[in-house]
Structure formats: structure tokens, C-alpha cells
Amino acid sequence: MKHWWWKIAAVVLLIVASVAGLYVPLAPALVRFTNGGDQFCPQRVEVVDATHLKVFVEVPEGLREAMTDLSVGYLRYAGAFYSKGGGEGFPAMDCGDEAPAPASGAFVFPNRSILYESIRNLHFHVPMWFTMIALMGLSVWHSIKALGGTNVLEHDRTALAAVDVGLWFCGLGLLTGALWARATWGTFWTSDVKLNGAAVTALIYLAYLVLRGSITDAHKRARLAGIYNIFAFTLLVLFLFVVPRLNAIDSLHPGNGGNSGFNDLDLDNRLRIIFYPAVMGWVLLGLWMAQLRTRTARLAEQLDR
């Protein structure tokens, strides 16, 4: 059992995170916007169903701030609308009594503008990349060990297995990212620097597999692949973490190209309760898959002898 605890933990974490990520409801939507001391009331509100309202508001020009907040009752979403700013403001309107805050609310996810229901993808898309990075880090570590000259073929086998599994998670990350982009940006792919960097990273590691397939001598293959793997991981860090964060480069991703981080605006404690277990579960699953891939490759080599 002592060798299985982390595998059991991976399954439990993934089940809990996946079910919660898909079924926890979003918080109520907001129906009135305010701008600092200015307050403008909705002209008409229509109830669509039990969870949706349709609101009609005439937005005046000359608001004092560039970002206009949206609020209803005790709920408030900062910067929901973009306005030109530069005005002197308008007298505040009296929209009636505020709805009282509930004594104890249910556990819900934040309802963010643009994201809406797609915010659930946080628990699937981001952990794919965490897992891929962990596996590529494991791979480069074993490549360095292989270059050290002790148990070369075993370390090389583990390095290859980690890249094999890591590329699957890379593919899942690109897929879930494309679906999320379609829901929020209106297209499956853009020229975003982080998207392009992720695609180039995938091609770099595919080239690693091509390099291995072109060399027949096992020890020579382990040495050359190990050297290439070090450069590949360096480029991974460069394309995914360094280049997108340069303020001079435009990016749609949170935390990149001068944008505020997802952690600053959207990730709150309710999401963290599910997000962190999801990351741990997917990473453990990836390590488990790499372990099985290594054992399978070892058995295949023994049978070929």
C-alpha cells in the first residue's frame, strides 16, 4: 500500500476536482453598473429565467473613469465595461434599496465577464501545462543523469517515457486552450505569443523523437538525445515563461504582455479550493503514466533480447 498511496491520491483528487469543476454553480450575474461616485440605474429589467436577467441601460458619455464597474445589490464586478473616461461625471441616481447580503452563501464559482461558464476550464486547461512542464522537467533530469555515465540506458529510457507522456498533455493543453479561446476570444487560434510559443515547444519535442529515431546505437542515442533535451527544456522555459511576459510583446493571456495576471483578477479562494487539487491530481496522473511507460519499454526490450 505504501507504494500505491500517491496513485490512489491522484484518482481521488481528479474525481473530486473534475466533478466539482463541472457541477459547482456560478455566482449570480450583475445588473447595474456604477462609476466611482456616479450611479446609473437600469431603464428596464426582464427576467429571462431563474438564473438570467436582461437589462437595458443608457450609458451617458463623459464618465470619470475608463473602466466602469457593474454591480447589483451587494455584488460588484470591477471594470466590467470600458468607457472613454475624461468626463466630469454626473449626479448619482437613487436606484432604490440595495438587496441585503445573504447570511451564508452557497459555494459557487465567480461569474466573470467574458469568461462566464468557460471559467470551469481553468481546472482542466492549466493543469495540462503544469503536468507537461513537470514531465519535461523529469525528462531533462534523467537526461542529465544519463550524461553522467551511470546506468545510462535506464535513465535515457525514463527520459523518453516522460517526453512521450508530456507530449500527450501538451496536446490536451492546446486542445482545451483552443476551445477556451473560441468561447472567450471568438476564435480557436490567434497570433498570441503564448499560443505560438506552446506550438513551437511541441514541435521542438517532436523533433527530439525524430532525432532519437535516426540513431541506431543506443549509447550514442542516449548522449545526443540528452544534450538535445537540455536545450529543449531551456527553450520551453523561454517560450512559455520569459518571452510572453515581456511588456513590449502583446498577448491576450492573463499575466503576459503587460496584462494583469489571472491570479489578480479572476482566481479567488473558491476556485483555488478546486484548482490546486486538480493540478496535483493531473501531475500525479502524468507521473504514473510515465512510470507505466518506462516499465512497458523495459519489458519490451527484455522480450526483444
Cell numbers standing for residue 25: 454553480
Mean confidence (pLDDT) of the chain: 80
* pLDDT given for residue 244 in this prediction: 79
* pLDDT given for residue 246 in this prediction: 76
- Note whether 103 and 140 are same-domain residues: no
Pick the last residue of a domain from 82, 107, 132.
107
Full domain range(s) for residue 59? 29-107
Greater confidence (225 vs 194) lies with: 225
The winner for highest mean pLDDT among 100-109, 223-232, 266-275 is 223-232
- Note whether 223 and 282 are same-domain residues: yes
Give the CA radius of gyration of the chain: 25
Would you place residue 88 in the very low, low, confident or very high pLDDT band (cuts 50, 70, 90)?
low
* pLDDT given for residue 283 in this prediction: 96
* Prediction pTM value: 0.75
Would you place residue 279 in the very low, low, confident or very high pLDDT band (cuts 50, 70, 90)?
very high
Q: For the residues 36-59, what does the mean pLDDT come to?
A: 65
Q: Is 134 helix (H, G, I), strand (E, B) or coil?
A: helix
Would you place residue 225 in the very low, low, confident or very high pLDDT band (cuts 50, 70, 90)?
very high
Phi, psi of 292 (to 5 degrees): -65, -40
| pLDDT tops 60 at residue 229 | yes
Pick the last residue of a domain from 88, 107, 126.
107
- Note whether 144 and 292 are same-domain residues: yes
Pick the last residue of a domain from 107, 136, 157.
107
Distances from the Cα of 47 to the Cαs of 51, 95, 98, 113, 177, in angstroms?
Answer: 9, 18, 18, 19, 33
* pLDDT given for residue 100 in this prediction: 46
* pLDDT given for residue 62 in this prediction: 57
- Note whether 280 and 152 are same-domain residues: yes
| pLDDT tops 90 at residue 50 | no
* pLDDT given for residue 210 in this prediction: 96
Cβ–Cβ < 8 Å for 81, 33 = yes
Distances from the Cα of 3 to the Cαs of 134, 239, 245, 262, 299, in angstroms?
Answer: 20, 36, 40, 36, 20
* Number of H-type helices and E-type strands within the chain: 7, 6
Euclidean distance between CA atoms 283 and 285, whole angstroms: 5
Residue 24 lies in a domain: no
Greater confidence (98 vs 263) lies with: 263
Q: Which of 231, 233, 260 is nearest to 245 (CA)?
A: 260
| pLDDT tops 70 at residue 43 | no
CA angle 71–66–73, rounded 5-degree value: 5
